[in-house]
Amino acid sequence: MTQRLALKDRDLFWPPADELTEATERIRARLGDWPPTHAPWRICLTAPDAPNGGDLIVIADAQQHREQVARWLVQGAGVIEAAQNTATLHLGGETYRLEGHLADDWIAALAAFLDCGFDPHDALVLALAWRDGDETRADDAFPADLARFPRLAGLPAAPAQAFARCPDRLGLYPVLPTAEWVERVLSFGVKTVQLRRKSAEPAAELKREIARCVAVGRAHDAQVFINDHWQAALDAGAYGVHLGQEDVHTADLSALAAAGMRLGLSTHGYYEILRALHFRPSYIALGAVFPTTTKVMPTAPQGLRRLARYVRLLDGVVPLVAIGGIDLQVLPDVLATGVGCAAVVRAVTQAADPAAAVSALQLGFTR
């Protein structure tokens, strides 16, 4: 018997809609156990008199309501344009354009995924991956068929050729601050590392650091990725680069792909995963899994439940890297999701005995 959730006492829709609430309950009951969300969202099927920062206002054509839309956005609300096989979310100064199937129950599905705690752009992706009746076909109806997911419109063109492949399971992946650290960790037998230098420094010094990392990587037959500095990595003949979502607008991806370099892309949810897949990278990083102090994160921690869902969706499609707050204590839980690689930072660089820390972490991949 389908479990029913107590959503009727919540302000899910404007105007109130009992049938939509009941459909949301049916769908939400088959999506699994998620921590309750405290986000003040509400889906508005007609414009409310006074929008609030949690409102998502569904309309058919933003051009016909241009002045109203501008006012709603200034007031902190989001606007979803929904037409045949397309849905566009305007929220927080960003526009998310999706092309795909709009089920009859897509609004109820959107509400259910919002209730699971997903941000509106990720919840909308999942709503477009929903099919009417999915909640009746399995106890776990969470979307897991990539072929059903929407296509993102308006993206920069991908390189003509896909990026070169890297091993499907990269294993332990230390992210290190200097060439000296790269040399040290590779001497411990690690086969995949990343140089991540975030401090400002002269270009000549940066190039020397990258060239030094490339050389030691070749000496150890290891895969050395360079974070961010794609041009210097390209000039040095690096094995690969790791870029953030924003970097695909500025990096010469075609030149990197043509040179046979590998590309890793950071993601923080379903929308960014689809965006990364568009560029056919060598691997996709999923994070931050846990809270981290090594960098300022644009999103809340993903957690193990989401990581497991991402792995289920993408396993066999592209190599995956879990990143963010991972240490020896949580590594078994991370690997239990099925992910084949875990990136670590402080677990190595702040260890009292880095060699022993690396040995213990590597042992975790063999259990």
Binding site residue list = 194-198, 227-228, 247, 266, 292-295, 325
Spatial contact of 88 and 151, defined as CB atoms under 8 Å apart: no
Whether the CB-CB separation of 301 and 333 falls below 8 Å is answered with no
Specify binding-site residues for Mg(2+).
228, 247
